[in-house]
């Protein structure tokens, strides 16, 4: 009876190495599984990073392509604006040659100021030369000098035959300097002071352009609608109608 515990103890000790071997094998299997899972996770992350890098590259290429298109369209728009500007300049010069020259009024006797004005009016060629000089500055891209020349011309000849044209080109000179606020002010003078002039509907179109660039969409629409209301037969009306369709 005393030998039974000893036999039992020997049996237990004999079983421990097998259990230890089993535990070590299980641990190794778990470590191997964990390593496989970690490597699979790293592979997935690497794949996701590669896909993200490829997507970023595609987006960068698309942005570059769109930027190129924008630059091309901007250039074409600028060229179209210059062609239209040249057309108006040429048309303005041609029409001005057909306009009747102003006749000098007789100065009031004993009035020096009236005599000075009469002296200026007596030489319509001087007025024409001053206008042409301002226009040449504009054609040459000297917009700041052109604006000053046109402003001086309007100040000296506010009621002259060329005053509406000069006021209109004053607005264009400001626009060419990217000063839409001044351009709107100048073109508004064409509409208010010379509403019967052929330049009035064109001035409204120019105002609408500046209002659009300044983000005043409602104001631009109103200016275009005014062209149709007040000058439905003017060439500018067709342009205003076309622009309203796009809005």
What digits encode the pLDDT tens for the residues 132-144? 999 999 999 999 9
* pLDDT at residue number 11: 59
| Higher pLDDT among residues 160 and 106, named by residue | 160
Please provide residue 99's backbone torsions phi and psi, each rounded to the nearest 5 degrees. Answer: -75, 140
Report the C-alpha gap between 219 and 183 in whole angstroms: 15
Statement: residue 8 has pLDDT above 60: no
Burial (0-12, 13-18, 19+ Cβ within 10 Å), 153: buried
pTM of the predicted model as reported, rounded to 2 decimal places: 0.58
Confirm whether 241 is domain-assigned: yes
Confirm whether 177 is domain-assigned: yes
* pLDDT at residue number 1: 47
Domain end call among 93, 122, 147: 93
Statement: residue 116 has pLDDT above 60: no
* pLDDT at residue number 55: 84
For residue 46, what are the domain limits?
Answer: 31-93
Residues 165 and 234 in one domain: yes
Rounded average pLDDT over 153-171: 94
Report the C-alpha gap between 96 and 229 in whole angstroms: 27
Confirm whether 191 is domain-assigned: yes
Confirm whether 165 is domain-assigned: yes
Q: 136 vs 80, 85, 121, CA distance in Å? A: 20, 13, 22
* pLDDT at residue number 45: 83
Residues 80 and 159 in one domain: no
Which of 89-93, 133-137, 200-204, 225-229 shows the lowest mean pLDDT across its residues? 89-93
Distant-in-sequence, close-in-space partners of 89: CB < 8 Å, separation ≥ 6: 135, 138, 139
Count of structural domains, the chain:
2
Sign for the pseudo-dihedral over CA of 33, 39, 44, 45: positive
Place of tokens 């500055």: 137
Q: CA nearest 191: which of 178, 208, 173?
A: 208
Residues 141 and 228 in one domain: yes
Q: What is the end-to-end Cα distance of the chain in Å, rounded?
A: 110
Report the C-alpha gap between 60 and 71 in whole angstroms: 16
| Higher pLDDT among residues 45 and 65, named by residue | 45
Tokens describing residue 72: 């091309």
Rounded average pLDDT over 78-85: 60
Q: 99 vs 1, 36, 52, 162, 171, CA distance in Å? A: 144, 93, 69, 9, 22
Residues 141 and 85 in one domain: no
Reading phi first (left if > 0) and then psi (alpha if -120 to 50, else beta), residue 129 is in: alpha
Q: CA nearest 148: which of 134, 127, 133?
A: 134
């Amino acid at each position: 009876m005393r030998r039974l515990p000893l036999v039992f103890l020997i049996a237990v000790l004999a079983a421990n190495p097998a259990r230890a071997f089993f535990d070590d094998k299980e641990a190794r299997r778990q470590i191997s599984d964990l390593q496989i899972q970690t490597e699979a996770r790293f592979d997935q992350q690497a794949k996701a990073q590669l896909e993200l890098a490829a997507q970023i590259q595609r987006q960068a290429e698309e942005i570059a392509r769109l930027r190129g298109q924008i630059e091309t369209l901007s250039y074409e728009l600028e060229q179209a604006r210059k062609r239209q500007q040249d057309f108006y300049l040429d048309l303005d010069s041609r029409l001005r040659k057909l306009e009747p020259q102003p006749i000098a009024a007789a100065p009031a006797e004993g009035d020096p100021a009236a005599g000075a004005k009469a002296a200026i009016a007596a030489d319509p060629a001087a007025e024409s030369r001053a206008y042409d000089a301002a226009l040449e500055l504009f054609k040459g891209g000297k917009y700041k000098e052109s604006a000053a020349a046109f402003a001086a011309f309007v100040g000296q000849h506010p009621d002259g035959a060329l005053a509406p044209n000069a006021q209109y080109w004053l607005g264009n000179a400001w626009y060419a300097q990217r000063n839409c606020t001044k351009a709107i002010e100048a073109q508004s003078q064409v509409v208010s002071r010379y509403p019967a002039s052929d330049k009035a509907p064109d001035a409204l179109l120019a105002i609408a352009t500046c209002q659009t660039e300044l983000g005043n969409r409602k104001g631009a629409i109103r200016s275009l609608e005014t062209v149709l209301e007040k000058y439905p037969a003017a060439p500018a009306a067709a342009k205003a109608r076309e622009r309203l369709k796009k809005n």
